[in-house]
Amino acid sequence: MQILHPFVGSIQQYFKETSEPDRYRPDHCPQCEANRPLMAHGFYSRTLVDVEFDSSIRVRRYLCHCCKRTVSLLPSFALPYLRFGITVIALFLIARLLSGHTLSAAAAAATLSHMPYQRGQFWVRRFRSQAERLCAALAALLAPPSAPNFVSGALLMLQSIGWIAAHRFLFADLRVHLLGWPAFLAPNGRLAALRPAAPRG
Ligand SMILES: [Zn+2]
């Protein structure tokens, strides 16, 4: 299960912060609710593309002794299951959907001039289908602005709150993904619990 790293700051600061295993060790398990601190369990690495960053980052993992499942602490500038960071996706969506730029101009605004246009279309499609849900969820933080549709409303709310701050609230408190969970994890981003196979015969 992925949860949010409590750390707030830049990618460079994140690298320093993750070197100490005990500093952000969860004091209980979010999966079985065991009230024992989790045990540091190494890292996995994932790629991340963000403004002036295109490399891999290490994500700290912890293990629960009771349920034997792992919890990874994902930094808040990265979205679960997406290689691109929140900042570049935000720049792209604002340029495309709020300012009305072309796909290629929006990619340039997001510092991603050479990305295939299909990637931008994919973000737009996912954001459009998630916009109404975002408006409803973010209304807990901010009165909805007057906007012609949910897409503009959600973008304006995200701009006011700050995309990463909004993501922290959506993901940590509500398990809502900014662009919607991939179909295999819908609706709340948790892998379905594996049930023991029924006895045969
Ligand atoms: Zn557990």
Instruction: Work out the mean pLDDT of the chain and round it to a whole number.
Output: 91
C-alpha to C-alpha distance for 81 and 83, rounded to whole angstroms: 7
Q: Picking from 63-67, 135-139, 195-199, which range would have the lowest pLDDT averaged per residue?
A: 195-199
Q: What is the pLDDT of residue 191?
A: 61
In the block, residue with structure tokens 């700051």: 9
Indicate if the pLDDT at residue 8 is higher than 50.
yes
**Which CA distances in Å does 72 have to 46, 63, 137?**
12, 9, 24
**Which residues place a Cβ less than 5 A from the ion ligand 1?**
29, 31-32, 34, 64, 66-67
> What distance in angstroms lies between residue 65's CA and the mean position of ligand 1's atoms?
7
Indicate if the pLDDT at residue 201 is higher than 60.
no
Residue % of the chain over a pLDDT of 70: 93
Name the 3-class secondary structure at 139.
Answer: coil
Q: pLDDT digits over 165-183, tens only? A: 999 999 999 999 999 998 8
> What distance in angstroms lies between residue 193's CA and the mean position of ligand 1's atoms?
13
Indicate if the pLDDT at residue 109 is higher than 50.
yes
Q: pLDDT digits over 54-75, tens only? A: 999 999 999 999 999 999 999 9
> What distance in angstroms lies between residue 25's CA and the mean position of ligand 1's atoms?
14
CB 157 within 8 A of CB 166: yes
Q: Could you tell me which residues are beta bridge partners of residue 59? A: 44
